[in-house]
Amino acid sequence: MSDSDIRAPQQRPSLGEMGLDQQAQLERERHLLVDARPGRELNAMVLEPMMRIGRAFWPAVGVLGFLVLTWWVTWGFQMWWNVGITGLNRVVMWSLYIANYVYLIGIAEAGTFIAAALRLLDIDWRRPISRIAELLTVFCIFASALFPLAHLGRTWKFYWLLPYPNERQLWPNFHSALIWDLTATLSYLATSTLFFYIDLIPDAALARDHVHGWRRTLNSWLALGWRGTERQWRLLKVAQLIFSIGILLIMPSVHTVVSYDFAMTIQPGWHSTVFGPYFVAGAIYSGVAAIIIAAILFQRLNHWSYFIRDEHLNGLGIFLLLTSLVWDYFFFQDFIVPWYGQVPTEKQVLLTMMAGHGQLAFWLMITANAIIPFFTLWWRRVRTSWPAMLAISILIQLGLLLERYIIVTIDLGVRELPFNWGLYQPRAAELIMSTGAVAFIVLGFVVFSKLIPFVVLYEVKEGQFLVQLKRIGKGLIRSKME
Amino acid sequence: MGRRIGRRDLLKIGAASAVAAALSGCEFPRPWVHLEPYVRPPEEQVAGVGTWYASTCRQCPAGCGIIVRVLNGRAVKIEGNPQHPLNEGKLCPRGQAGLQDLYNPDRLQGPVRQAERGSRRYQAITWEQAIDDLRAGLSRAGSSLVVWADHTISGHLLDLFERLTAALGAPPPVVFDLYTALSGYAALSAADALLFGQARLPAYGMEEADVVLSFGAGFLSTWLSTTHYGVAFGSFRQRPLDRRGYLVQFEPRSGLEAAKADFWVRLRPGSEAPVAQAIARLIADGGVGPADRVSRARAWAPAVDPEAISSASGVPIDDLRRLAGTFATAARPLAIPGGALTGHGDAVAQAAAVQVLNVIAGGAGVGIAPGPPAEGLVAPVAAPYGRVQRLVERMRAGQVGALLVWGAANPAYALPPALGFVDALKQVPLVVSFRPIVDETALWADLVLPDRTYLEAWGYGVVEPSFGVPVVNSQQPVVQPLYNTRATGDVLLEVAKGIPAAAAALPWPDELSFLRERIAALPPGVFGGVGEEVEWARFLQHGFWQPRPGPGALQAPEARPQPVVVPAPSFQGAAGDYPFFLYIHMPVLLSDGRGADKPWLVGSPDPMTTLMWQTCAEIETNTAIRLGVTYGDVVRIMSPYGQVEAPVYVLNSVRPDTIAMATGLGHSALGRFASQEAEGPNPMALVGPAADASGTSMAWANIRVRVERTGRRVALAKFEDTRGSYGGFVNQAFADQYL
Amino acid sequence: MADATQAEHKWTMVVDLDKCTGCQACVVACHAENNVPIRNKSEVQANRAQHWIRIERYWVGDPPARARFLPMLCQHCNRAPCEPVCPVYASVHSQREHLNLQVYNRCVGTRYCNNNCPYVVRYFNFYDPYFPAPLTEQLNPDVTVRTAGIMEKCTFCIQRINRAEQQARSEGRDLGPDEVIPACVQTCPPSALLFGDLWNPESRVAKALADNPRALRVLEHLGTEPAIYYLKGGKSYVRF
Amino acid sequence: MRIASRVRFLVCGAVLLALLWGGSYLSAGALPSALSWPRAPSTAAAGASPNPGFPPTVPFVPTRPPVPPQPVPFPHVAMVSRGVPCLFCHSGATRSPTAGIPSVYLCMGCHLVIGRDSPLIRQVRTYWEAQQPIPWVRIYRLPGFVQFSHRPHLAAGLNCEACHGDVGQMEVTVPYPAYKQMGWCLECHEHQPNPLPLTECQICHY
C-alpha cells in the first residue's frame, strides 16, 4: 500500500467505507505512538541532528553570545557606575529587572510543571516534548535568578540576604517577601534541575552507546553508568514520580511567593488577594506558549516532523487555550474589583493603565493575551498550523512581559499622595539586560541541542510499545495496554 | 550629581565591611591617615564638640542675627541667633545656605588681573601688585572715582568708601542692587519722607495686626525683612487679638503670600495704588468704623471714583466695599505697599497712597526706622534709580576714571541691557570688582580683588528697618580665611597710604581698629559692659547691640493731610502687538540672582512651580491652551526692549493676561552652578531703561510683552507630578481632609 | 527619677498647615544638617530630586486656584510598612525612641521600602553624592555621608537626639520637654513645625495636640499610625 | 502501583501532621502575636539580642591590625608609669565624642623643662620650634558609618583599659585587635542590665 494511493484528504472516503489497512495508514499518519519504527531508526533520527553542526550553528552562537556578553558587560557597568544609568526615579523604583524576573521565573515554572503534570495524568502527547519543557525551565531559572541581584543597589553585598552565621548577630529579615523569593527561587532551581537530569539519564546512556568523540565521554558521565536493568528502571520510575509530585507542589508555591512581593504591600493596585493564583495562571500561560515556540522550532530546524506532529501541537494548543481562559478570568478579577470599588487611587491606577501613560502597553497586552488566542485557538486547523501557533505564542510572550511591566511600573507610578505620581521610561541598560536574558535562554537551547538528545526516546518507545491498533467490528481503535 | 567622586573618595567615605576585613584577616596596605593636632589650641574649642560664633547674615539687606557652629575649624551649620530681636533664632532658606558662599568651589583663590576685558583669562597677581595697580588707578581717577556698593555692605566698609570718595572729591558711593530696586527701597523711603518727613524705610508690626491688606508685598519671600515677617506671620495666625489674623493680598500672580492669604485679589498689574485709594475713598464715604478714622479718611481720601477704579483694575466693587468695611472696623489694621507698585507710574505717590491707609487707620503698628543710633555709625541708603541713570550717562561720556564694584550689586546682570551699562563700561579706564566670585560685572573688570565672604570678615550692620528698637549687628570671622583673600577695608587703607589726598582721611592701620573705634561710640546697651574691651567682647558674643530690651511699640509720626495724586496706570509697549502684561517677581530661593551660585538654593524646589535649576514663564491654563503651549515648551517672550526664551509652566494662579517670570537665572558667570548647570531667562532683558515719574525706581512693572512659540521643548526639572497636583484627582474631599 | 537609660520617648512632630508658608527654609536647613546631596539638573529631570523634607504644593478650587502647602517627610510610623519588607533589617524600628531607623551601612538597595511607603519619603542614592572640593568642609561630621546604592530618609535629626540624650544621661537627668530640636523645626520662621516627646505633658507638641480639633494625620486610614500630626489650616475657620 | 499507594499515604500523613501542629500553635494563644505587626528583631523580646539565640553567632575572630609607623615613637609606658593620667592628654574623652590628641603646646608645657636631652623629646621640640603640628598616624580608625562617642562610655563608668587594652604598659601603642568588629561591641552592649536600648541600631549607626 504505497503512499501515492492515498488520495487527498477531502476525497478520502469516510472511515466507514475505508478498508482496515487504509484506516491503519491514517492512524499511523496521525499518531506518533502508533507509527512505530525500529529502534535503530529512531535513535539515528534523534542522535543525527545532535552530531551534525549545521551551517547556521556558529553564526547563531556568535550572535546570541554577543547579546549575552552585552548583558554581563551592562551589569558590570551598572555596578561601577551605580543604578543611576537605569531609568528608575524616586517614585518608580522597580522596573524591567523585576518584571523580567517574574516573567522568566513564570516560564521556568510552567516548563517542569507541564512535564510533571502530563506525566502524572499520563497524557501521551507529552512524550516527545517533555525534555524541551524541562530544559526551558533550567535556562529560564538561571536567567531569572540573576535579575534580583542585578537590581540591587549594592550588588556586592548580596550575601547579606543569605542566613549565614556572623559575629554581628544579624540574620536576614524573614518577614520580607524578598527572602521568601530567595528561598523559593533556590528551591525551585534545585528541584527542576534534578527533575531534568533524572529524565536525561536513560537518553544520555543511549547517546553514550551510539555516539563517538567527546560527546561520548560527556554523555557517559551524564548517564552515571546506566545499564537499563529492571531495578534501575524501577528506581527511575519512583524518582520521576516523587519529583513530579514535588514539582506539582513547589510550582504554585514559588510563583505565589513571587506575587507576594506585590501583594504583601499596601501600594494601590498591588495589594489584591487575587495576585497569587493570577500570577500562577500567568506563569503556566507563558510557559505553555514558550514550549510551543520551542517545539515548533525544533520540529522545523531538526526536521523532527516524525516526533512532533499535529496531535502534539493540537494538544498544546488546547492547553494554551485553557490557560488563556484562566488568565483572562484572573485578569478580569484583578480589573473589576478596583473598578467596582471606586477607591480614588485604585481608580487612578486603572485610568493610567487604560487611558494614561500605559495605554499602549495595556491594549497591546489585552489583544495579545486575551483577544487573539480566544478568537483563533478554538479551531483545530489553527492549532495544528505551525506558523499560526508560532505567531500566537510569541505574541503571548510579549503580552505577558508587558503585563508584568504594567503591574510593576504603572501601578507603582500611582501613589496615595498625588504630588508623587511618577512616570517611568526604560533606558538602554534595562533593555540590553532583557534581551540579553532571552538570548541566554535561546543560546542554552542551541548549545545543548548539540550536546544531549532532545527527545525523551525511552518514553516515546514505551508509548509506541503500549499503544496498539485493535480491530473492533469494522473500525480500528488505538488501545493502550496497562 | 553626575558621577565625579573618585574611587579614593569612595574608599574614604564608603561603607567598608567589617566582616570582610575580619574574615579575610589580612589587611591590604592602606594609606595611613594622619591626625594633626593643634600647635596652639584656641581655648574655647574642644575637638569634636561644636563651638557657636554669633555673626550677621548678609544674604539680603535685612540683617538677621546668625550663630555658626564651628567644629575642628570648619563651619558646619548656620542657625538663627535665638537672642536676636529681628529673627528670634529663625532663618530663611537663603540664610541657611550661607555656608555655600564660604565654601563655594568657584571662589577666587587670590587677586587676579584680566588683561583683556571679557576674555575670562584671569592671571593671578600678588596683593602688592594689586594694591599698586589700584593705587595708580585711583590717583589717576581722582575725583572721577565712582564706588558702586551692594546694600548688604558692612557699615564700616561703606564708611571707609565714603571717606575715600570724600577725600578724593568724588561723589559718595552708589548703593544700588536688584534686590533693593525690585523691593522698592528708594521709593518707600521717599514716600515716608513725603508723608512723615523722614526718608526711612517703613516697618509694620504684623504680629499684633488683625487685618493686613498687602498690595503686592512679598513679605514672606523677598521684601524688606523676610524672616522677621515670617516670624510675625506665625503669631499673626495665632489669634493675636483673640481672633485669627485676616490677610488680603492684592497681586496679579499668586506668590507665597497670596497662597496663604485668606482673600487673594487677582487685580490687573499696575492698579494696586488706585485700588488703595478707592478703599480710602470708600472708607470716607461709607462712614463705617471709629469716628476718628472716618474723619481722617475724609481728610486724606483722594477724589477718586471707586466704580471706575474697580472696573479698570478688575476687582468687583462689592469686594472693595467689603474690604473697606473690614479695614475700617479692624482693631489693628495694616496696609503694606509692595515692591511691584513702585515699579511704574509715580512710585513715590503710589507708595504714599498705601501709607495713607495706615495714616487713616491711626498709624498704630506702622513704624519709621529711626536711623543709626550713634552718630559714628553708617547705614547704607538705597540710591534712587535716576542717579544710576545719570552715572551710566557719565560713564558713557568718559567722565568716570575708575569704577569700584563691591558685593553682589552685579550691575552688568541687574541693570536692564537697554540701559547699556556694559558698553558704557568700555569707556571707564579702570574697573575693579571686589566680589569673592567672578560675576557678570567682574567679567568686564580689569582687577578682581576678592573680598572675604561674610563668615570670614569683620563688620557691623545697622538693622534697617528695625522694629521699634534700634539694633546694630556685629559680624566676626567664624573660621580662618580659606584663601589668599584680603578684607577690602584693609586694601582701601593700604591704597590710601599711597595717595596723599586720601592718607589723611584714612589714617587707621587696619580695618579692625577703625571698626573698634566706630563701635566704641555706641552707648552701653542691653548687655551692659563698661570698659571698651568687655563691651566689644559682649558685642561679638551676643551678635548685636540694643539700647533697651524687648520689641518697641511701632507708632507712625503725625502727618498733615496732603493730596496724593496717583497717575493712571500706563504701560510700555502698544496693547495691539504686545497683548500680555509682564509680571516680574523675586523667588524666595534665588532672590535677585545672588542665590544662583549656591546648590542648596538653585537646587532646591521653588515653592510655587517646584522647579529646580530652572526658572520659567508662568502662563495661565486657558491662555496656555489658547497659545497652544504646555509644560516645557520653550517660548520667546518679546518686549519693546528685548527678548528672552523661557520654558512654559502652566499655573492656574496667574491672571490670563499676565506672564509671570522669576528673576535669578540667566547668568553667564557666577560659577559652575549658576552659569553651566542652571538654565533660565533673565527677565531684566525685557525691561526698558526708563525710570518712573518720580525718578526713584526702574519702570520694570508696566512692561507689555508678546509670546511666540519656538517649537523647541525642554525637560522640566520639577519635583511635582503635574497630573497629580492639577488633575481632577485633587478633589474637594482630599483637599478638605488634608489641605 | 527614672533611670535615664530606661526612658522611652515618643518623638512626635506637629505641622501647623495654617502657618507653613512653603518658604523651603526647612528643606535647606535639612540639607545643611544631614549632608543630603543636591542632585544636578539632569538627575532632577529624571525625577530623582533628593530632599528629605519636601513641600508638596497642591492647587485647590477652580481657577483662580489657590495653592496649599503640605510639608511631607518621613512620618516615623509606629507600624511602618517599610520595616517588614526590608530583607536585611536596614529599615528597623527603634522601640525606645519610637522612630523608624535607616541603617545606611546595612542597606543593600533593594528599594522595596520606598515601594511600600505610601508617603514616598524614602530617597535612593542613584549616584554618589557630588561635593566638589571645599564643599566637603561644610559636611556635618555627626552624620554619615551616604554613598550610591543606599536608601536614606528623614531621621528626625537622630544625631541631635543622641547628643541631647548623652548630655542628659551624663548629667544624670532625663531629657527636658523641648531639649531636642531638629534642624527644620529650629529654622521654621513662623514656627509651623513643632517637635517633642508626646508622652511628656510639658512638651510643646503635647500642649499643641491637647484635644485640638484641627489635628489630623495623613493617610491614617492605612493603619501606619504616623508620628506627625498636621493641624488643618486654610478656610477651615475663616469667618470673613 | 504499590509505590504510588505508599507515596499517597506519606503525603496525606504529612499534611495531616502540619494541620495538627499549626492548629495547636494557633489555639495556644499564639494567634494575637502571630497576627501582630511583624516587628523588627530588637523589639521581639525585651532584653534579648536582635535575634534571640536563633542565628548561630560565630565568635569574632580578632585579627592583628598593623601598627603604623609614628613620626615620634611615643612610649605610653614612660608617661603612665610616672603617674600621668590618660585624661591629661586625651582630655576630650569625658566631654566629647573624640578623646582628642594633645597639642604640641600641651607637650611642651612639661617637656620644656623635664627630660630636655632625651632624643624623643628633642624630636618633639623640633616640631615646637617649627610651630608645626606633629603628624601622628591614626591607630583607631572606625569606618564612617559608625558614630562612636567616648562620653557615654566614660559616663557609664568604663575606664580606658576596658577597650584600649593596657596601653599603660605599651612601648609601642598597638590597637585592640577586635576594635573593628561589631560583635565585640555587642558583647558588652548585650550584657548590660537593660540591653534593649543599647542593642538598637541608632546607638551607633546614623
Q: Decide if C141 is inside a domain.
A: yes
CA distance A95 to chain C (A): 11
Cα B730 to Cα B722: distance, rounded to the nearest angstrom = 11
Contact C218, C230 (CB under 8 A): yes
The residue count of chain A comes to: 482
Mean pLDDT of chain D: 80
Between A267 and C3, residue with greater pLDDT: A267
> B29-35: long-range contacts at Cβ-Cβ below 8 A with a sequence spacing of 24 or more?
B29/D66, B32/D68, B32/D69, B32/D137, B32/D138, B33/D137, B33/D138, B33/D141, B34/D135, B34/D136, B34/D137, B34/D138, B35/D101, B35/D136, B35/D137, B35/D138
Which residue of chain B has the CA closest to C66?
Answer: B259
Name the phi and psi angles at B260, rounded to 5: -90, -10
Q: What is the ipTM of this complex?
A: 0.90
Check residue D57 and give its pLDDT. 61
Check residue B211 and give its pLDDT. 93
DSSP B528: B
List pLDDT tens digits, range A218-245.
Answer: 999 999 889 989 999 999 999 999 999 9
The beta-carbon neighbor of B18 closest among D101, D128, D182 is D182
CA distance B718 to chain C (A): 7
How far does Cα C39 stand from its chain's mean position?
20
Residue in B12, B28, B32 to test binding to D, most D beta-carbons within 10 Å: B32
The beta-carbon neighbor of B92 closest among C60, C140, C189 is C189
Pull the grid cell for residue A356: 494614561
B704 pLDDT more than 90: yes
C-beta neighbour count of C176 within 10 angstroms: 14
Check A418 against B724: CB less than 8 A apart: yes
Pick from A342, D104, A234, C33: nearest CA to B78: C33
Residue C163's domain spans which residues?
A: 11-235
All chains having 3 or more CB pairs closer than 8 angstroms to chain C: A, B, D
Q: What is the average pLDDT across B368-397?
A: 89
Check residue B735 and give its pLDDT. 65
The beta-carbon neighbor of B35 closest among D97, D106, D138 is D138
Task: Collect all residues of chain A within an 8 Å Cβ-Cβ radius of residue D4.
Answer: 241
Between B54 and D19, residue with greater pLDDT: B54
The residue count of chain C comes to: 240
Check B729 against A418: CB less than 8 A apart: yes
Please tell me if residue C19 touches chain A, with a CB cutoff of 8 Å. no
Please tell me if residue D75 touches chain C, with a CB cutoff of 8 Å. no
Between B729 and C129, residue with greater pLDDT: C129
* Burial environment of residue B155 by CB neighbours within 10 A (0 to 12, 13 to 18, 19 or more): buried
Task: Collect all residues of chain B within an 8 Å Cβ-Cβ radius of residue A343.
Answer: none
The beta-carbon neighbor of C186 closest among B79, B258, B717 is B79
Check A94 against C128: CB less than 8 A apart: no
B18 pLDDT more than 70: no
DSSP B25: -
Cα D133 to Cα B702: distance, rounded to the nearest angstrom = 63
Strands (E) located in B133-236:
145-149, 174-175, 202-204, 211-215
Instruction: Please check whether the domain covering A20-164+172-480 is classified as CATH 3.90.199.10.
Output: no
Query: Which distant-in-sequence residues (6+ apart) come within 8 Å of C20 by Cβ?
Result: C55, C69, C71, C188, C190, C192, C193, C233
Q: Decide if C182 is inside a domain.
A: yes
CA distance D61 to chain A (A): 9
Check C105 against D200: CB less than 8 A apart: no
Grade residue A4 by pLDDT with cuts at 50, 70 and 90: very low
Give the CA distances from residue C38 to residues C127, C131, C154, in Å, rounded to whole numbers and listed in that order: 11, 9, 15
DSSP B62: T
Which residue of chain B has the CA closest to D205?
Answer: B15
Pull the grid cell for residue A479: 488501545
A119 pLDDT more than 60: yes
List pLDDT tens digits, range B254-268.
Answer: 999 999 998 999 999
Which residue of chain B has the CA closest to D102?
Answer: B37
Cα A281 to Cα A261: distance, rounded to the nearest angstrom = 17
Check C144 against D147: CB less than 8 A apart: yes
Check residue B561 and give its pLDDT. 84
Check residue B563 and give its pLDDT. 87
Grade residue B21 by pLDDT with cuts at 50, 70 and 90: very low
Query: Which distant-in-sequence residues (6+ apart) come within 8 Å of A148 by Cβ?
Result: A97, A98, A101, A178, A181, A182, A185, C110
Is D1 strand, coil or helix? coil
B368 pLDDT more than 50: yes
Cα B178 to Cα B718: distance, rounded to the nearest angstrom = 26
List pLDDT tens digits, range A138-147.
Answer: 999 999 999 9
Cα B258 to Cα B351: distance, rounded to the nearest angstrom = 20
Check residue C72 and give its pLDDT. 95
List pLDDT tens digits, range A196-217.
Answer: 999 999 999 999 999 889 999 9
Check residue B736 and give its pLDDT. 66
Mean pLDDT of chain B: 89
Check residue B243 and give its pLDDT. 78
Task: Collect all residues of chain A within an 8 Å Cβ-Cβ radius of residue D56.
Answer: 165
The beta-carbon neighbor of C49 closest among B104, B226, B612 is B612
CATH of the domain at C107: 3.30.70.20
Please tell me if residue D98 touches chain B, with a CB cutoff of 8 Å. yes
Grade residue D45 by pLDDT with cuts at 50, 70 and 90: very low
Cα B677 to Cα C192: distance, rounded to the nearest angstrom = 33
Contact B335, B277 (CB under 8 A): no
Check D103 against B38: CB less than 8 A apart: yes
Which residue of chain B has the CA closest to A343?
Answer: B729
D10 pLDDT more than 80: yes
List pLDDT tens digits, range A243-264.
Answer: 999 999 899 999 999 999 999 9
b/e string for B341-351 if b means 16 or more Cβ within 10 A? Answer: bbbbbbbbbbb
List pLDDT tens digits, range B131-160.
Answer: 999 999 999 998 999 999 999 999 999 999
Task: Collect all residues of chain B within an 8 Å Cβ-Cβ radius of residue D138.
Answer: 32-35
b/e string for A375-384 if b means 16 or more Cβ within 10 A? Answer: ebbeeeebbb
CA distance B105 to chain C (A): 6
Q: What is the average pLDDT across A373-394?
A: 93
Check residue B28 and give its pLDDT. 52
Q: Decide if C2 is inside a domain.
A: no
Which residue of chain B has the CA closest to C22?
Answer: B607
Grade residue C6 by pLDDT with cuts at 50, 70 and 90: low
Q: Which helix (H) or strand (E) holds A114?
A: helix A96-121
Provide DSSP, A434-447: HHHHHHHHHHHHHH
Give the CA distances from residue A338 to residues A346, B378, B734, D115, D146, in Å, rounded to whole numbers and listed in that order: 6, 70, 19, 86, 46
Check A238 against D182: CB less than 8 A apart: no
All chains having 3 or more CB pairs closer than 8 angstroms to chain A: B, C, D
The beta-carbon neighbor of D103 closest among B33, B34, B41 is B41
Grade residue C141 by pLDDT with cuts at 50, 70 and 90: very high
B657 pLDDT more than 50: yes
Q: Which helix (H) or strand (E) holds C69?
A: strand C66-72
Check residue D41 and give its pLDDT. 46
Check residue C15 and give its pLDDT. 96
Contact B314, B268 (CB under 8 A): yes
Domain count, chain C: 1
Grade residue A11 by pLDDT with cuts at 50, 70 and 90: low
List pLDDT tens digits, range A352-363.
Answer: 999 888 899 999
Task: Collect all residues of chain A within an 8 Å Cβ-Cβ radius of residue B728.
Answer: none
Quote the pTM value: 0.91
From chain C, which residues contact D within 8 Å (Cβ)? Answer: 3, 5-6, 79, 83-84, 89, 91-97, 99, 101, 103-106, 142-145, 155, 158-159, 162, 166, 169-170
For chain B, domains (ranges, CATH) are 108-176+383-451+486-509 (3.40.50.740), 183-368 (3.40.228.10), 580-726 (2.40.40.20)
Check residue D65 and give its pLDDT. 72
All chains having 3 or more CB pairs closer than 8 angstroms to chain B: A, C, D
Least confident of A72-76, A230-234, B557-561, C90-94: B557-561
Cα A19 to Cα A373: distance, rounded to the nearest angstrom = 38
C91 pLDDT more than 90: yes
Pull the grid cell for residue A217: 565521554
List pLDDT tens digits, range D134-150.
Answer: 999 988 888 889 999 99
Check C189 against B600: CB less than 8 A apart: no
CA distance D53 to chain A (A): 9
CA distance C208 to chain B (A): 12
DSSP β-bridge partners for residue B213: B248, B335
- The alpha-helical segments, DSSP class H, found in B582-715 are 599-602, 621-627, 671
Q: Decide if C168 is inside a domain.
A: yes
Give the CA distances from residue A40 to residues A203, A461, B580, C195, D119, in Å, rounded to whole numbers and listed in that order: 14, 11, 91, 85, 96
List pLDDT tens digits, range D93-115.
Answer: 988 999 989 999 998 888 888 88
DSSP β-bridge partners for residue D137: B34
